[in-house]
């Protein structure tokens, strides 16, 4: 009987993690295949050419357009590999601008699809992330121009210790399978952690402390903990949990929208920031700067949604996904 009591919660945990993971995988796997095909056909290179004027507007060399294009369509790590292969000498200011833009706008096909599963329109996700990334980069460029700060050459750890990725199709497939496996393990650990926090009462304490701050951004107490998971670990993890809650009807669509918008700009605060710091970027800018910018941006967006978007036009921003 005691063994049965022990096995039952473990079984439910594995069952829940499998359900959340499958929700993500059925979005991520087809998207990964499309991205790989686009990459093989030269679509990323073409997109980088279109982005050259934007690079100039934020004070970056036009060659860096391919770095941002790769980051937009694939992920930060892929963008960093392209940056290493360019072998360019950049200042701390330049890598801080580029790194900040990469942190806000990356993996758009996959993360946009995840947000859509939670009921947030794809166009609003793409607009907020690309526009937010560009605006933040432009503000940083103006700051560096006025102050003349951080003009010294950046020391890139990646440039010093760049490894060679397996370029074959089989190497790519194996890497993706490892990533999907790691996502499943991480989601299982997250669900376990959330249940422990709930049992200890820490979950309720966190929600109480953070709810006034997140309330300003239009995020309800019910979405607080899941939003914080995404902020610290990534949109894929927090978004997957938010999808589950949205489908159960536990969180209102507008709260989901505000949570996803915050996660669009501010997620994976630990891991992704560490990756960008390897390029020699300024920690204050890529960490604290992004936090402040994201809070202000989402606060203004939340105010706009509450005051200007009537029920008639809500479907262009968010929708209910209950029982889907």
Q: What is the pLDDT of residues 152-192, one digit of tens each?
A: 988 876 655 444 555 677 777 887 777 677 777 767 776 78
Q: Which range has the top average pLDDT, 68-72, 226-230, 305-309?
A: 68-72
What pLDDT does 277 receive? Answer: 86
Name residue, tokens 């599963």. 117
Question: Is 236 among the domain residues?
Answer: yes
Three-state SS for 7? Answer: helix
Q: How far apart are CA 259 and CA 253, in angstroms?
A: 10
Taking CA atoms, 146 is separated from 150, 267, 286, in Å, by 11, 29, 19
Average pLDDT over residues 273-290: 89
Taking CA atoms, 18 is separated from 26, 45, 110, in Å, by 12, 36, 19
- Model confidence at 138, in pLDDT bands (50, 70, 90)? very high
Question: Is 163 among the domain residues?
Answer: no
DSSP state string for 179-206: HHHHHHHHHHHHHHHHHHHHHHTHHHHH
pLDDT at 290 over 90: yes
Q: Read off the pLDDT of residues 7-49 as tens digits, 9 standing for 90 and up.
A: 777 778 788 788 777 766 776 677 667 767 777 787 767 777 7
3-class SS shares of the chain: helix, strand, coil, % to 5: 80, 0, 20
pLDDT at 94 over 80: yes
* Count of structural domains within the chain: 1
Average pLDDT over residues 100-116: 87
Close Cβ partners of 17 (under 8 Å, ≥ 6 residues apart)? 184, 187, 188, 191
**Among the listed ranges 16-25, 32-41, 112-121, 207-216, which one has the minimum average pLDDT value?**
207-216
What pLDDT does 141 receive? Answer: 96
The torsion defined by the Cα of 143, 93, 264 and 287, in degrees rounded to 10, comes to: -90
Q: How far apart are CA 119 and CA 12, in angstroms?
A: 26
Question: Is 161 among the domain residues?
Answer: no
Q: Return the bridge partners of 318, or none.
A: 120
**Among the listed ranges 2-16, 71-85, 193-207, which one has the minimum average pLDDT value?**
193-207
- Model confidence at 144, in pLDDT bands (50, 70, 90)? very high
Residue 178 in tokens: 């490892």
Task: Quote the domain boundaries for residue 54.
Answer: 2-156+173-316
Question: Is 77 among the domain residues?
Answer: yes
What pLDDT does 162 receive? Answer: 46
Give a three-class secondary structure readout of 239-263. HHHHHHHHHHCCCCHHHHHHHHHHH
Question: Is 166 among the domain residues?
Answer: no
- Model confidence at 102, in pLDDT bands (50, 70, 90)? very high
Question: Is 322 among the domain residues?
Answer: no
pLDDT at 281 over 70: yes
Question: Is 168 among the domain residues?
Answer: no
């Amino acid at each position: 009987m005691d063994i049965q009591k022990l096995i039952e919660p473990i079984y439910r945990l594995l069952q829940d993690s499998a359900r959340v993971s499958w929700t993500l995988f059925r979005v991520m796997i087809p998207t990964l295949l499309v991205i790989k095909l686009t990459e093989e056909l030269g679509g990323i290179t073409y997109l980088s050419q279109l982005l050259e004027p934007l690079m100039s507007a934020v004070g970056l060399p036009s060659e860096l357009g391919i770095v941002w294009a790769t980051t937009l369509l694939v992920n930060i790590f892929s963008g960093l590999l392209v940056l290493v292969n360019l072998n360019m000498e950049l200042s701390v200011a330049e890598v801080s601008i580029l790194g900040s833009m990469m942190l806000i706008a990356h993996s758009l096909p996959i993360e946009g699809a995840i947000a859509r599963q939670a009921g947030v329109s794809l166009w609003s996700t793409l607009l907020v992330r690309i526009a937010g990334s560009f605006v933040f980069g432009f503000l940083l460029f103006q700051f560096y121009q006025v102050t003349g700060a951080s003009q010294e050459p950046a020391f890139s750890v990646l440039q010093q210790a760049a490894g060679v990725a397996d370029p074959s199709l089989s190497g790519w497939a194996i890497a993706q399978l490892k990533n999907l496996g790691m996502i499943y393990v991480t989601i299982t650990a997250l669900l376990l952690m959330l249940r422990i926090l709930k049992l200890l009462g820490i979950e309720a304490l966190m929600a109480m402390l953070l709810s006034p701050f997140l309330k300003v951004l239009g995020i309800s107490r019910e979405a607080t903990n899941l939003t914080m998971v995404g902020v610290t670990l990534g949109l894929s993890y927090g978004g997957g949990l938010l999808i589950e809650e949205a489908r159960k009807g536990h969180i209102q669509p507008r709260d989901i929208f505000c949570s996803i918008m915050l996660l669009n700009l501010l997620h994976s605060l630990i891991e992704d920031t560490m990756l960008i710091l390897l390029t020699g970027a300024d920690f204050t800018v890529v960490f604290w700067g992004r936090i402040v910018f994201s809070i202000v941006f989402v606060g203004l967006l939340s105010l706009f949604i509450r005051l200007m978007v009537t029920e008639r036009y809500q479907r262009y921003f968010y929708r209910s996904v209950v029982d889907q």
